Amino acid sequence: MGEYTEELLQELLPLFYSRLFPCNSFYRWLSYGSSATFKLRELSFTLLGDIYIRYQSFESMENFSNELNKHKPIKIDIGAIYNHPPKYKTQIQKFGPVEKELVFDIDMTDYDDVRTCCSGTDICSKCWKFMVLACKVLDAALREDFGFKHMLWVFSGRRGVHCWVCDENVKKFTDEERKAVAEYLFVKKDGHKNILFGDKIHTSLRRALTIIKPYFNQMMFVEQNILGTDEGIKKFLKNIHEEIRIQSEEVLRSVEGSEARWKVFCDYFRTLSQKQSIPKIYKNTIEELMLLYCYPRLDINVSKGINHLLKAPFCVHPKTGKVCIPFNPKTVDKFDPATVPTLTLLVDEINKYDQITKEEEMADGVNSSKIKDYKKTSLLKSITVFEDFLRNIERELKQKRKPTPMEF
């Protein structure tokens, strides 16, 4: 079918929902082992023409699937689990959210001041590395610092990633607990006050630095070339404390090329450090700069509130036609947003598969039409990631609900 264009959306969505959207797994996820839970979940639809319908909820998987096929939303958002089914919201007096996953949203536009390759909605393999680092740093912190186990990482369809933390105890977090975790993982940047951790670097940030370091030089100075231009140098100097700003500029301008400039700056700074002519609170400036450029830039308000909505996995981004696919954070280095399947690609793949099997069946006389449609496409990999994530949750739920055997 060729390239995806926005006009094709309306034509292809019905097919997507009827044949490709993994309704069953989606239902299994939001049920967490109990159909009662699914009924209390707010799902909201955005229909063609930016018509936004909030507080939808569904009785069963069939009900949900039917409505999806009927309305063909261009976007599905997931909200909180409420004390009553959200669709009856107006009839209930004390209607309110009770549980929700802890979510994180990282968007490439927040990196516009540190990336030179693209801006706005564009992304390329160079700036995608910011997302790779964000994913690695955040995933490690959530696991090690907070002991969370069930993270679902999802490509947001255009230029960012989402993370859903789905542990049982996390879903019950109060706004205060969400805020504590979110701000712990949030580092302020220039223009505002600098990161300043004084003479000590918190263990969590130290871990982030170990993750960032192997990428840093290649990414920032070769690919982003942030010290290559006059403007770049000026921007960089704003993050250097006043007392050594002028000398730093001289040092930077003494050589050509981004990477070389970074190297002379580091040497210069270390020499000053050794002579102990750097005030104690600035002694970690190099580490600070690394975090300033590469530490995950969270849209913190999304994480803080229990009732904030976030786009569901497996939605199709209307502008790019790309599916918001889950991915494995362990192999995020290999994830390339450019190869994320689009609606048109998926339809082509199904057709091609059907065409081939039809020919084979004609030849062999065997009927193999029972195969699920998504298995015929490049969506298979991400659905497998999703299924693995589900199995882990379900295994844990089973263990918890099973009464402990008596000991003799």
Binding mask 107-126 for another protein (x = CB under 8 A): ---x--x-------------
With CB under 8 A as the contact rule, which of the stretches 190-198, 246-254, 283-291, 333-341 interacts with another protein? 190-198
User: What's the one-letter identity of residue 91?
Assistant: Q
For position 176 contacting another protein by CB under 8 A, the verdict is: yes
The least distance separating another protein from the CB of residue 273, rounded to whole angstroms, comes to 18
Residue from 10, 24, 203, 210 touching another protein (CB under 8 A): that is 203
Q: Catalytic residue among 105, 167, 299, 373, which?
A: 105
Binding mask 33-62 for another protein (x = CB under 8 A): -----------------x------------
With CB under 8 A as the contact rule, which of the stretches 120-128, 253-261, 299-307, 326-334 interacts with another protein? 299-307
> Within 10 Å of residue 407's Cβ, how many Cβ atoms?
4
The least distance separating another protein from the CB of residue 372, rounded to whole angstroms, comes to 38
For position 146 contacting another protein by CB under 8 A, the verdict is: yes
| Residue tagged 């940047």 (tokens) | 189
Alpha carbon distance 327, 384 (integer Å): 9
93 DSSP 8-state letter: S
Alpha carbon distance 357, 111 (integer Å): 46
Binding mask 239-278 for another protein (x = CB under 8 A): ---x------------------------------------
230 is catalytic: no
Q: Which two tokens stand for residue 228?
A: 């290559």
Q: Which of 92, 82, 95 is nearest to 36 (CA)?
A: 82
| Residue tagged 């712990």 (tokens) | 184
Q: Which of 41, 46, 19, 78 is nearest to 318 (CA)?
A: 46
**Beta strands 41-47; 97-99: pairing state:** unpaired
For position 144 contacting another protein by CB under 8 A, the verdict is: yes
Residue from 91, 93, 94, 191 touching another protein (CB under 8 A): that is 191
Task: Give the nearer residue to another protein in terms of CB position, either 107 or 223.
Answer: 107
105 is catalytic: yes
For position 186 contacting another protein by CB under 8 A, the verdict is: yes
The least distance separating another protein from the CB of residue 207, rounded to whole angstroms, comes to 10
Alpha carbon distance 373, 353 (integer Å): 9
For position 201 contacting another protein by CB under 8 A, the verdict is: yes
For position 205 contacting another protein by CB under 8 A, the verdict is: yes
Contacts of 271 (CB under 8 A, 6+ apart): none
The least distance separating another protein from the CB of residue 180, rounded to whole angstroms, comes to 4
Alpha carbon distance 352, 346 (integer Å): 10
- Burial of 333-368, coded b for 16+ CB within 10 Å and e otherwise, reads eebebeebbbbbbbbebbeeeeeebeeeeeeeeeee
42 is catalytic: yes
Residues 145/353, Cβ–Cβ less than 8 Å: no
Catalytic residues: 42, 105, 107
Which residues are near another protein by CB under 8 A? 50, 110, 113, 144-148, 173-174, 176-177, 179-184, 186, 189, 191-194, 197, 200-206, 242, 297-301, 304
